[in-house]
Amino acid sequence: MDDIKIRDYIINNFKDDDETTIKNAIEESIKENDEVTLPGMGVFFEIIWQDSTDLEKEKILTTLKKRFQNKSSK
Tens of each residue's pLDDT in the chain, 74 residues? 455 699 999 999 999 999 999 999 999 999 999 899 999 999 999 999 999 999 999 999 999 999 999 986 55
Domain boundaries of the chain, sorted by first residue: 6-72
Predicted structure pTM score: 0.81
C-alpha 7/C-alpha 18 separation (Å) is: 19
8 A C-beta contact, residue 43 and residue 8 = no
Closest residue by Cα to residue 39 from 1, 2, 10 = 10
For residue 25, what are the CA distances in angstroms to 18, 50, 74?
11, 20, 28
Q: Is 59 left (phi over 0), alpha (psi -120 to 50) or beta?
A: alpha
